[in-house]
Chains A and B, each alone.
Chain A
């Protein structure tokens, strides 16, 4: 069919094809590919087989063919058209194996994991694709740029909004706003830290929530807005981490499940992240609504959600409450 057929090997068929593309300096669509061996990762990496393909450059053919067969008995393997974009000059080629419609379909599916490779190859060659890609890139760039640009005005309005609310609350404070990408941090002066934080940060969270709501309506961009008073957030995170580790230790010692009550999503995240590193301890959120408690427990012993655990957790929770106060 084609002048020079070369052999290529790779961990997977896709790798082999990519190598072929590089060696022969053509996009994949212009390759005549016959898969000799699909290769396998083997068991525990013991019986590894390399994927083996035969590839050659098609002449004056803007077509993409794909062959897949586990054994190499027939030199003429099934060929598949994959891209509608390349379909125009397709017909003569396809006629070579007119009876293989069904196989084609299944093969197309089988070959789809390779589409990544395909994409990179296409952008060289297919004008249309290239333009589309280019267009997409430009759009993304625009978006990013505008997000950064707008932030300047946005920051000012976020700051003003927060200042207004604080003043109306009767706790006028200096506000410092810093932005990193789309995340905006509003830092409120520490003078009224206690009252603005509230119990377990409830007031601060309310302030943050309302400010977000207000800003969403005022500003076209999506922002990740955080409000902090003094160093509250940082302190809170440090506290939670410490507490999580303490409780994890006590779970390790006596195997009893421990509970931290009433945490907001971001606080729960901190606890889960902290405990993720310790392999022998698990953490899990229970409850409904925004504020949930976290169970810290030893996996295995007590059955999931078993009565024993519940009894324990209730007892523990009271202890924790005392600790909190």
Chain B
């Protein structure tokens, strides 16, 4: 799941080398923190958060397999 977000984020930004993801498992929850270059923030969030929402949707679909809840934080 971490790689999924990492992969998508890298494909969307201008500076893929600055994309970093951290994953935290807590019980049934999976938290992923995504960090990108300052100027790429808008690209992973998208208009009205559409891109971020789409990533979250895919993430939760991916987590469905393991019956887990997910959370994606985009860090500034």
Residue among B46, B48, B51, B61 making CB contact with A169, cutoff 8 Å: B61
- The complex places the Cα of A88 from the Cα of B26 at a distance, in Å, of 83
Q: Measuring CB to CB, which residues of chain B are less than 8 angstroms from any residue of chain A?
A: 1, 3-4, 7-8, 11-12, 46, 48, 50-51, 53-55, 57-58, 61-62, 64-65
In the complex, which residues of chain B have a beta carbon less than 8 angstroms from the beta carbon of A170? 1, 62, 65
Contact B50–A165 (Cβ < 8 Å): no
- The complex places the Cα of A209 from the Cα of B65 at a distance, in Å, of 22
Q: Is the interface of A mostly helix, strand, loop or mixed?
A: helix
Contact B57–A165 (Cβ < 8 Å): no
| Given A209-B50, A210-B51; A203-B3 close (CB under 8 Å) | no
Contact B11–A214 (Cβ < 8 Å): yes
| Given A169-B61, A217-B12; A209-B7 close (CB under 8 Å) | no
Within 8 A of B (CB), among A268-317: 289-290
| Given A209-B50, A210-B51, A290-B50; A164-B7 close (CB under 8 Å) | yes
Contact B58–A203 (Cβ < 8 Å): yes
Contact A214–B12 (Cβ < 8 Å): yes
In the complex, which residues of chain B have a beta carbon less than 8 angstroms from the beta carbon of A207? 54, 58
Interface flag for A168 (CB, 8 Å): yes
Q: Measuring CB to CB, which residues of chain A are less than 8 angstroms from any residue of chain B?
A: 161, 164-165, 168-171, 195-196, 198, 202-203, 205-207, 209-210, 213-214, 217-218, 289-290
- The complex places the Cα of A170 from the Cα of B65 at a distance, in Å, of 8
Q: Separation in Å of the B5 CB from the closest CB of chain A?
A: 9
| Given A198-B57, A203-B57, A210-B8; A169-B62 close (CB under 8 Å) | yes
- The complex places the Cα of A171 from the Cα of B53 at a distance, in Å, of 20
- The complex places the Cα of A198 from the Cα of B11 at a distance, in Å, of 23
Residue among A171, A217, A290 making CB contact with B11, cutoff 8 Å: A217
Give 6 nearest A-B pairs by CB, closest first: A206-B54, A206-B57, A168-B4, A169-B62, A214-B11, A203-B61
Can you list 8 A-B pairs, Cβ within 8 angstroms, ordered by A?
A168-B7, A171-B62, A206-B55, A209-B50, A210-B51, A213-B11, A214-B12, A217-B11
Contact A206–B53 (Cβ < 8 Å): yes
- The complex places the Cα of A195 from the Cα of B46 at a distance, in Å, of 24
- The complex places the Cα of A205 from the Cα of B55 at a distance, in Å, of 11
- The complex places the Cα of A290 from the Cα of B50 at a distance, in Å, of 10
- The complex places the Cα of A210 from the Cα of B65 at a distance, in Å, of 21
Contact A289–B48 (Cβ < 8 Å): yes
- The complex places the Cα of A169 from the Cα of B53 at a distance, in Å, of 16
- The complex places the Cα of A130 from the Cα of B57 at a distance, in Å, of 55
Looking at A209, A218, A290, the one whose CB has the most chain B CB atoms below 10 A away is A209
Closest Cβ neighbor of B65 among chain A residues:
A170
Q: Separation in Å of the B57 CB from the closest CB of chain A?
A: 4
- The complex places the Cα of A289 from the Cα of B57 at a distance, in Å, of 18
Q: Separation in Å of the B6 CB from the closest CB of chain A?
A: 9
| Given A209-B50, A213-B51; A196-B61 close (CB under 8 Å) | yes
Contact A214–B8 (Cβ < 8 Å): yes
Residue among A198, A217, A289, A290 making CB contact with B61, cutoff 8 Å: A198
In the complex, which residues of chain A have a beta carbon less than 8 angstroms from the beta carbon of B50? 209, 290
With A206-B54, A213-B51 given, can you name 15 additional A-B contacts, CB distance below 8 Å? A168-B4, A170-B1, A170-B62, A170-B65, A171-B62, A171-B65, A195-B65, A196-B61, A203-B58, A205-B54, A209-B50, A210-B8, A210-B12, A210-B58, A217-B12
